[in-house]
Structure 1
Amino acid sequence: MTDTITLTGLVATDPKHLTTGEGLSITSFRLASTQRRYDRSKQSWVDGDTNWYTVTAFRRLATNVSVSLVKGQRVLISGRMRVREWADGQRKGISVEVEAESIGHDLLWGTSSFTRSIAASRESDAEATQSQGGSGSDADSGGWAVSEVADASQQSHTTDASEAPTAPERADAELADVPF
């Protein structure tokens, strides 16, 4: 049985990455998801039970996970869940596996910087150009040309709080084209 599930938790093991002989990229890691609840008698938050998942990502997601995540980071995961029984000699158990469709850092617990991969950039640029009637190869064909960024430092952008526009500036910008 497969069900869609969204999880939050800690990356409990360093992600393991491999590429098959056919060129399929696979990355997997264990995820610990602990329920937190408020205990009125103690007047504090306490940990509940921890659920353990084996998370597996394929293809480009696997490659991106392998260079983006490390043990101890908090993440959000959406994917297809499978519950499987297993037996290993005298021992038996149940494992819960998630085939990830998307993974990201949980920004409730910290900040993150995003760097767009060149392959993803090329694909989305080609899709945008084709939706504009072009072939995706250049600006002369009727699409939009986007220059490639060779240096990854130019590709990612972390906004410092001092750089962020204040609320009135954002409101002014949003209202600039209102006709009344």
Structure 2
Amino acid sequence: MSNETFLTIRGFAGADPTVFHNESGRVTVVIRVGVTARNFDRRLNTYSDGTTAWYSVRCYGDLAENVSRSIHKGSPVLIRGRLSPRTWTDKDGRTRTDYAIAADSVAIDLNTGWATFVRTRKQSLEPIEGEPAHAASADDEAPPPSLDAMHGEEIAEPVEPELEESAAGVLQALA
């Protein structure tokens, strides 16, 4: 094992992802993630926001493509990756250092909302005996039909409860 620093951060995307394509067609996506600590003041018995730390998060390959489609400004995210310094010289000739995270995992933080997962396929599947072969296509990236979570029946559109509704209201809507 090498002497590298891996970390996990929890924060919010500060802007929509920036997508870069290189000459060979590979994709790199960069997102800026702000992480603000919440501090508890025992004297006042209240929480307050600490200083916001900003990280550049770099994603490559399939992860980059999926992040570009899934993460938007304000998205609550969990990032795991390798921390690495990037050093450059600014326009005034001063040496600057920025700490970037080369992400190996990016997730939506479900503490603040819900999400729907759609699996993508980039390669052909092995045929199952008795079934025709299937090649990956653009149709593979379309969302699957929605199912009623309680009954397993297909429904016309997903139920999207208003944020203000109570859990009882959501259950009543599904019944």
| TM exceeding 0.5 | yes
Aligned partner of 1:138 in structure 2 is 127
Aligned pairs for 1:8-47 within 5 A: 8-47=10-49
Gap regions ≥5 residues in structure 1: 127-136, 164-180
Q: In structure 2, how many angstroms separate the alpha carbons of the residues matched to 1:78 and 1:158?
A: 33
**Is 1:61 paired with 2:63?**
yes
Q: In structure 2, how many angstroms separate the alpha carbons of the residues matched to 1:107 and 1:5?
A: 19
**Is 1:153 paired with 2:143?**
yes
Say if 1:88 and 1:151 are closer, same or farther in 2 by CA, change over 3 A. Answer: closer
Say if 1:27 and 1:156 are closer, same or farther in 2 by CA, change over 3 A. Answer: farther
Q: In structure 2, how many angstroms separate the alpha carbons of the residues matched to 1:157 and 1:10?
A: 30
Q: In structure 1, how many angstroms separate the alpha carbons of the residues matched to 2:5 and 2:96?
A: 20
Q: In structure 1, how many angstroms separate the alpha carbons of the residues matched to 2:148 and 2:77?
A: 19
**Is 1:102 paired with 2:111?**
no
Q: In structure 1, how many angstroms separate the alpha carbons of the residues matched to 2:23 and 2:52?
A: 36
Say if 1:17 and 1:46 are closer, same or farther in 2 by CA, change over 3 A. Answer: same
Q: TM-score, normalised by structure 1?
A: 0.69
Larger helix percent: 1
Q: TM-score, normalised by structure 2?
A: 0.71
Q: In structure 2, how many angstroms separate the alpha carbons of the residues matched to 1:49 and 1:2?
A: 26
Greater mean alpha carbon deviation, residues 85-94 or residues 70-79: 85-94
Q: In structure 1, how many angstroms separate the alpha carbons of the residues matched to 2:148 and 2:99?
A: 35
Aligned Cα RMSD in Å?
Answer: 3.0
Gap regions ≥5 residues in structure 2: 150-158, 160-169
Q: In structure 1, how many angstroms separate the alpha carbons of the residues matched to 2:148 and 2:115?
A: 8
Aligned partner of 1:130 in structure 2 is none
Q: In structure 1, how many angstroms separate the alpha carbons of the residues matched to 2:46 and 2:86?
A: 36
Q: In structure 1, how many angstroms separate the alpha carbons of the residues matched to 2:6 and 2:146?
A: 31
Q: Secondary structure at the match of 2:143?
A: helix
Q: In structure 1, how many angstroms separate the alpha carbons of the residues matched to 2:81 and 2:6?
A: 6
Say if 1:94 and 1:155 are closer, same or farther in 2 by CA, change over 3 A. Answer: farther
Greater mean alpha carbon deviation, residues 51-60 or residues 92-101: 92-101
Amino acid at match of 1:99: A
Say if 1:43 and 1:115 are closer, same or farther in 2 by CA, change over 3 A. Answer: same
Whether contact under 8 Å (2:120, 2:140) holds in the other structure is no
Amino acid at match of 1:140: E
Amino acid at match of 1:43: N
Q: In structure 2, how many angstroms separate the alpha carbons of the residues matched to 1:80 and 1:157?
A: 38
Q: Secondary structure at the match of 2:74?
A: coil
Q: In structure 2, how many angstroms separate the alpha carbons of the residues matched to 1:157 and 1:92?
A: 55
